[in-house]
Structure 1
Amino acid sequence: MYVCLLACKDGYRAGCRMIVSLDGCFLKGYYSGYLLAAIGIDANNGIYPLAYAAVESENQASWLWFLELLAIDLEIVSSYQITFMSDKQKGLLEEICMLFPNAETRHCVRHLHSNFKNAGFQTKELKDLLWKAIGASTTREFNDAMDELRKTKQHAYDWLKKKNPTHWSRSHFSIRSHSDMLVNNLSESFNKMILEARGKPILTMIEIVRTKIMLLIVKKKEEADKWKGILCPKIKKKLDVNIKDSLRCVPSHAGGDKYQVECGLRSQHVMDLVQNSCSCKNWDLTGIPCIHALAAIHVKNEFPETYVQTWYTKQT
């Protein structure tokens, strides 16, 4: 049984970014089975359920059926524009590659870290180096982190080197989805939200999930009506932090709308206010101006909010 509510489809088209989190959880009722779910991310970086389905088991056939219906409902014509986040569930990656050959696929780095520890690399030093490579926003930072890991533990480096960084490092992510999401928290939050429903008979479970989604959307609407300003609260908070940190940056006009920005002796970046791009890649990845861009925006005496991507506004 597959369900995709019209309100969820309309909300996705209106204001969600093109990144979808996929996951499956087992059902605890008499007939067992699995519940597959596709979760989006709203303008305030909150969970936005898109579709869910009760299936007999989590396998390639189930995922293929689910993703085919999801593609129709979300009107995914060109897979070039979409990103899928998952925990590398059985049968899922193969079906994504078949149905969406140009889509970006990311793997939850919490799952990667767990496998890293299970491989015998459990020290805090190795954990910190792994997360340094994960969080790097440029290929230079990524390579530096990997070199440091190699010098510290060759076997850990060899293990990680076999993993394609396009799936787990910010430095290799596509900027098409405008999200630097690293973990599958969206799906985990949804699974927690519907926990009580997973032990019910199928029809009862489906109805409970529908009701919870309805209440979630209403709650989001009521909260949004109380917000002040044009930006959603979580986005405004991130922007404010960046504005504060940008005070240590020194911009130099490089002609047109381009600036060279220095933050310390060894940190220099080039950014373009027209392309909404910076060589640090943070602005490109998130759609929120980085500290280098904000330093230049301050020099131009312009409002930072106008440079934040429109899907972060409460109107969406």
Structure 2
Amino acid sequence: MAVVQVENFDNWRWFISELLEDIGFGRWTFMSDKQKGLLEALNELAPECEHRFCVRHLYQNFARKHPGVELKGMLRAAASTSNKNEFSMRIKRIEAADRKTSPYYETAAEWLNKIPPAHWARSHFLISSFSDVIVNNMTESFNIYILEARDMPIISMFEWIRTKLMSRIQMKRTGIKNYIQTPNGQNVVDLAKKECSCGSNQRTSDADFRICSPILQKEAYLRTYSYMIHAVPGEDDYCNTEYEPLGPPEVKKRAGRPKKKRKKWNR
């Protein structure tokens, strides 16, 4: 874990470098909110990796010019389908729902077409990534999970997060041991190619365990949580050093009221 003062290119570049050094320079899939500096860092350090944009955050920008419940539902439907033909059909519906009213007006479909669907539409994700995720709810959930610790001094914050993760890893490891994978739905399955006509089986862990990749099976999940964070001495057993005690970080006050709660986007 590390703490930085601001999200910028230098810090993102350092973080991505350290991350890739640990996990290896493979064909990873990154998902982001297009944070400042992150796009440039990923393009430089991991140009071969798939990079997705969280659809929930994408919609926040989309809604500034094209608000409304109807368009929101259409955007979500276009992003969620696993079939490219259906994706094209849903984009046409967006075109029909928001027609051009003047030469200077950018329609909802024109706005979306500026962003390659490989970044946000499930139907265009790489099959090799074995992931159908279109929103970063996992990250947002973790942010809420550690919310209590974020106002603590740095050492106390790290200790709080470390002990929480110790318990969580053990809980996930125990839970998956009792999990049973079962087939889901009726579709045409090509056993040789390990593909399904629904289009989602190649991208999701809900696939029939007999045809999906080994990385989506129970054994791989168990390997993910096979490691543990070991206990360390408590605060009473900390060693004294010749260094000055760590002070609180410098906080730059941002404009507006700070947000504690985050909105959820239903998959």
TM-score range, shorter chain: 0.7 to 0.9
Q: CA deviation at 1:228?
A: 5.2
Query: Matched residue of 2:85: which SS?
Result: helix
Instruction: Check if 1:61 corresponds to 2:10.
Output: yes
Query: Matched residue of 1:284: which SS?
Result: coil
Instruction: Check if 1:142 corresponds to 2:87.
Output: yes
What TM-score, normalized to structure 1?
0.63
CA spacing shift, 1:173–1:125, aligned 2, 3 Å = same
Letter in 1 for 2:94: L
CA spacing shift, 1:194–1:277, aligned 2, 3 Å = same
Where does 1:1-316 land on structure 2 (aligned, <5 Å)?
Answer: 3=1, 53-76=2-25, 78=26, 81-119=27-65, 121-154=66-99, 155-225=107-177, 227=178, 229=180, 231=181, 236=182, 239=183, 242-243=184-185, 246=186, 261=188, 271-286=189-204, 288-289=206-207, 304-315=208-219, 316=222
CA spacing shift, 1:137–1:222, aligned 2, 3 Å = closer
- Structure 1 vs Structure 2 CA RMSD: 1.9
Cα distance in structure 1, aligned partners of 2:8 and 2:201: 38
CA spacing shift, 1:312–1:189, aligned 2, 3 Å = same
Letter in 2 for 1:181: V
Query: Matched residue of 1:181: which SS?
Result: coil
CA spacing shift, 1:278–1:191, aligned 2, 3 Å = same
What TM-score, normalized to structure 2?
0.74
Cα distance in structure 2, aligned partners of 1:146 and 1:204: 49
Q: CA deviation at 1:218?
A: 1.3
Query: Matched residue of 1:54: which SS?
Result: coil
Task: Percent identity, please.
Answer: 40
**Paired residues of 2:205 and 2:217 also in contact (CA < 8 A):** no
What is the number of residues matched between the two proteins?
213
Q: Which has the larger share of strand? A: 1
Cα distance in structure 1, aligned partners of 2:77 and 2:175: 36
Superposed CA offset, 1:213-245 (max 9, x none): 1111111123234x154x3xxxx4xx4xx33xx
In structure 1, list runs of 5 or more residues that go unmatched: 4-52, 250-260, 262-270, 290-303
In structure 2, list runs of 5 or more residues that go unmatched: 100-106, 223-267
Displacement over 6 Å in runs of 4+: none
